[in-house]
Amino acid sequence: MIIRKGENMENFNVLITGGAGVIGRLLAEKFLKDGANCILIDKDENNLNKVIEEYRKRFGFDKVEGFIADFSNRENVLNILDKVLEKYKFIDVLINNAGIVTGKTLLNSSFDEIEKTMTVNAISHFWTIKKILPLMIEKNKGHIVTISSAAGIIGVPKLSDYCASKFAAFGIDESLRMELYKNKSKIKTTIICPYYINTGMFKGVKTRFPFLLPILEPEKAVDKIYKGIIKGKTRVIFPFLVYFTWLLRLFPTRFFDFIANFLGIHSSMDNFIGRR
């Protein structure tokens, strides 16, 4: 999706999973300001209702709607997507944003926690894409946005399940992009890989060098994400230092680990509290 200055999205339908969370609702606000219709899906009914109520007052009753779904439950998600498509017929922009984090070492994470993280953060993307992509293919238009993470590029202690899920999300996006390219499709994809964002989800994380790897403020992060989406960028990765992860992989793992440790990545989760 490439929106040029002066254009609006009056007839665009934008579906955002994890729509009641900080990133989801801030992205919805951006789209609503530009005239799009937003469909927000989240498990948190209380917060979702608050977001919907606020945005309906600001942007109009018909511009935003919320649906409750548990992204660890395939049947539940697919049923909700059927309801969404029955009403809206077509989704112009799908943003797979729903996510959770446990913040435990691999051995301290239960099987249920690991499986739930993988399901919500990665496997659920297959459910939403398989429902919505066929309609995009019919019209040869649309945009699929995947919210991954810098943790989808480099492994971090106490984030083994989270990193695995975000690496998976990155792989889903990349493979899908190549499939669409191979078929000469006009459907766009965008992968989003930010460093830690100060949403409360990663409360307690630390950074050794804030000028290189800052804990990102949500408004600034979402502004960057939104601009990347409407410009049709395939990758939105920030801060810029995160790109160097791929360069470092050309060196022996001992050097790679030394640099990661020096930058404080190995210790970033030491004081993790998270959202309780």
Query: How far apart, in whole angstroms, are the C-alpha atoms of residue 129 and residue 116?
Result: 19
d(CA 29, CA 20): 11
Displacement of CA 234 from its chain's centroid (Å): 14
CB 192 within 8 A of CB 174: no
Measured CA to CA, the distance from residue 5 to residue 17 in angstroms comes to 27
Backbone φ, ψ for residue 17 (5° rounding) = -85, 155
Query: Which stretches within the chain are classed as H helix?
Result: 22-33, 45-59, 74-88, 111-118, 124-139, 160-182, 218-230, 244-248, 253-262
Contact (Cβ atoms closer than 8 angstroms) between residue 260 and residue 154: yes
Looking at 55, 88, 162, 243, which residue is catalytic?
A: 162
The helix/strand/coil state of 204 is coil
Contact of 193 with 236, CB cutoff 8 Å: yes
Is 196 noted as a catalytic residue in this protein?
no
Catalytic residues, which ones?
162
